[in-house]
Amino acid sequence: MALLNCRRLPGRLNSAEAALLLGFQEHDLTVLVAARLLAPLGRPAPNAPKYFAAVEVEKLAQDREWLGQATKALAKFWLVKNQRKAKHDLHGDADEGERLRVA
């Protein structure tokens, strides 16, 4: 929260700071990066910490259209993930039932 009280932001922000300024959860940034709506600085390895340019994050936080696209991308991500989980759970239960009948 101290970040919000800064007179001037640092040049680069970590994931938690970028998420705070954008109004998203930290874990949402992974989805936004994958959707190419947000770009980390440099070319970090998949498991490396990500940093974001403060000037870009500030600009995006004030862009209503981008915020709409980002929100839509997150909603789509969770919809697909939940559908996949429901489908897996449905098939998993059916497989379990088959095993019980065979035994």
Q: Where are the alpha helices (DSSP H) in the chain?
A: 15-22, 28-34, 54-61, 64-102
CATH node for 2-102: 1.20.5
21 near 57, Cβ under 8 Å?
yes
Mean pLDDT for the chain?
87
pTM of the model: 0.75
Q: Determine the straight-line distance between the first and last CA of the chain, rounded to whole angstroms.
A: 58
Q: Give 79-95 pLDDT, tens digit per residue.
A: 998 888 887 777 665 44
